[in-house]
Chains A and B, each alone.
Chain A
């Protein structure tokens, strides 16, 4: 298993896109920490970048990488290797490279300038989002044989999680504002890993006081040990379920 993953990682880290991505993250985080006086503000700006850019790069890069390695996968399939092992090694290799890029680009500056609760929760969320969106990318690319279709659906997924979903939630909250919605909003956030990550980070910062009654409820819930457990397990579900689904499809697929 490790052998195959190693070849995938070796192939990816020599890729110029992943180097540029690492450098971009590094420059952005370093300059944010330099410019902002207040570390909390820097973390907040960094959070917005992480929540938008990270999923986009992870999902698009993983998809393109999958289609580009199609030949490699074909070659591996004619060898005495199981299908699950092949697709999982591909996933592990891609996810590991993206994680390395994130930890180098954002992890190091955060650990230098702001190694506190909010910084660590930012890193935790970033790692989870990388894994989640790589999983989703694999699911989409295993499903679609056609490259253009695969990348298109992946972009739609990103739009949905990053932009459309929030709009839908706002719409619901606005239309049903006469009812007590606190519990439901909590449930709704769990259905979007980006939102979940955002709330998880924000509640570790002082600004959560600005969020009013809902914020208080959130703080009560996410601040506790159960909240951490809840967030982690939902994130893990978001990583594992799409991946398992992708593996299932891949195992039945004709190459």
Chain B
């Protein structure tokens, strides 16, 4: 469904993406993992056409990302930091998005709006919302049009445990509906239940893209975090980061 052909992107001196090729199919749930600044968000923005790659092509459902924009109808995107017009109220934002997308076929999926209790605060202006509530709005918007592809950038960061569980349950539900789901997260324990494939990135390069079962088989570990740690042990300097990332992610999950 998404085909990435040898894309590279340079921001001034920084090589954000270095010759990345990959193919994602529907029914897959891909976890994008890598340290901060490894190019995960840049890759996502390239798929959305927000960042223009220097080299290479991306096709979403057969449509080239470079020239077209209609393909974005298939995508629901939840950004890392959702930023919205300050003066707009939540309700207005939703009605505006509905008008702009103007989807005639297929109904709206307002389950998350209901589950997060956003209807009660429809008349609150966006600027007064806390970071967590903003995340809820972003998530509800991403799921609203029942898209074939879901791109979620750090979906559970900033959400309270209850809401995070609601969101996770929704993601699993969507996965069962044969959709393509792309998630980045630093909380690896969150990804265990969701993932079918793992894509690991470092310094703008793709280190590997493997099915979870292959990964588990090769490493003998069931948890993604441990499996990655095992693989990275071979490379001395990368191992350090994995340890750091993995330890706090367990402590964070107090609930």
Which residues of A are at the interface with B, using a C-beta cutoff of 8 A? Answer: 3-4, 7, 11, 14, 68-72, 74-83, 252-255
List of 3 A-B pairs having minimum Cβ-Cβ separation, nearest first:
A71-B83, A80-B73, A80-B72
Residues on A with beta carbons closer than 8 Å to the beta carbon of B49: 77
B52, B70, B85, B87: the one contacting A80 at CB < 8 Å is B70
For residue B191, CB closer than 8 A to chain A, the reply is no
Q: Show the binding face of B for A, using Cβ within 8 Å.
A: 11, 45, 48-52, 69-73, 75, 77, 79, 83-88, 96-97, 99-101
**Nearest chain B residue, comparing its CB with the CB of A77:** B50
Residues of B within 8 A of A80 (CB): 69-73, 101
Q: Which of B45, B69, B88 contacts A255 (CB 8 A)?
A: B45
Task: Identify the closest chain A residue to B99 (Cβ).
Answer: A3
* Cα distance A40–B69 in the bound complex, in angstroms: 53
Pair B87/A14 contact, Cβ less than 8 Å: yes
| B residues in contact with A71, CB < 8 Å | 83-85
Measured CA separation A81–B75 after assembly (Å): 12
Q: Is the CB of B77 within 8 A of A11?
A: no
A220 to B239: give the CA distance in the assembly, Å: 82
Interface centre among A3, A77, A78 (most CB of B within 10 A): A78
A94 to chain B, nearest CB (A): 14
How far apart sit A168 and B39, CA to CA, in the bound complex (Å)?
50
Q: Give the residue name and chain of the B residue nearest to A253 (CB).
A: B52
User: Given A11-B88, A75-B85, A76-B100, 4 more contacts at CB 8 Å?
Assistant: A68-B86, A78-B50, A78-B75, A255-B51
Q: In the complex, what residues of B have CB within 8 A of residue A255's CB? A: 45, 50-51
Asked if residues B72 and A79 are in contact (CB atoms below 8 Å), the reply is: yes
- In the bound complex, how far is the Cα of B70 from the Cα of A134, in angstroms? 29
Contact of A81 with B69 in the complex, beta carbons under 8 Å: yes
What is the distance, in angstroms, from B240's C-beta to the closest C-beta of chain A?
31
**A-B residue pairs in contact (CB < 8 Å), sample of 15:** A3-B100, A4-B100, A11-B88, A71-B84, A72-B84, A75-B83, A75-B84, A76-B100, A77-B48, A80-B69, A80-B72, A81-B72, A254-B50, A254-B51, A255-B45
Give A207 Cβ to nearest chain B Cβ, in Å: 45
What A residues does B100 contact at CB under 8 A? 3-4, 76, 79, 81
Return the chain A residue nearest B46 by Cβ.
Answer: A254
Residues of chain B within 8 A of A68, CB atoms compared: 86
Q: Chain A residues near B75: list those with CB within 8 A.
A: 78
In the assembled complex, how far is the CB of residue A4 from the closest CB belonging to chain B, in whole angstroms? Answer: 7
- Residues of B with C-beta under 8 A to A4: 100
Residue of A68, A70, A254, A255 contacting most chain B CB atoms (<10 Å): A254
CB distance from A145 to the nearest CB of B (A): 11
- Among B83, B84, B85, the one with the most A-chain Cβ atoms within 10 Å of its Cβ is B85
- Chain A residues with CB below 8 A from B96, complex form: 7
**Nearest A-chain residue to B70, judged by Cβ:** A80
Q: How far is the CB of A153 from chain B (nearest CB, A)?
A: 20
Bound together, the chains give a CA A254 to CA B51 distance in angstroms of 4
Min C-beta distance of A11 to chain B, whole Å: 6
Chain A min CB distance to B50 (Å)? 4
Q: Contact at B87–A74, with CB atoms within 8 Å?
A: no
Chain B residues in 8 Å Cβ range of A7: 96
Neighbouring B residues of A11 by C-beta, 8 Å: 85, 87-88
Chain B residue with the shortest CB-CB distance to A3: B99
B85 touching A72, Cβ below 8 Å:
yes
A255 nearest CB neighbor, chain B only:
B50
Chain B: minimal CB distance from A252 (Å) = 6
Closest to B102 in A: A3
Q: Tell me, in angstroms, the Cα distance from A237 to B208 when the chains sit together.
A: 53
A254 vs B42: C-alpha distance in the bound complex, in angstroms? 10
Tell me the minimal C-beta distance from B79 to chain A in angstroms: 7
User: Please, which residues of chain B bring their CB within 8 A of the CB of A253?
Assistant: 52
Closest residue of chain B to A72, judged by CB? Answer: B85
* Nearest A residue (CB) for B142: A78
Q: In the complex, how many angstroms separate the beta carbon of B86 from the nearest chain A beta carbon? A: 8
Residue of A75, A76, A82 contacting most chain B CB atoms (<10 Å): A75
In the complex, what's the smallest C-beta–C-beta distance from B135 to chain A, in angstroms?
Answer: 14
The interface residues of chain A lying within 8 Å CB-to-CB of B11 are 254
- Docked complex Cα distance between A218 and B217 (Å): 87
CB atoms of B83 and A79 under 8 A apart:
no
CB contacts (< 8 Å) of B84 on chain A: these are 71-72, 75
Q: Which of A70, A74, A82 counts the most chain B CB atoms within 10 A?
A: A74
CA distance A9 to B223 in the complex (A): 52
> What is the CB-to-nearest-CB distance from B14 to chain A, in angstroms, rounded to a whole number?
12
CB within 8 A of A74: which of B70, B83, B101? B83
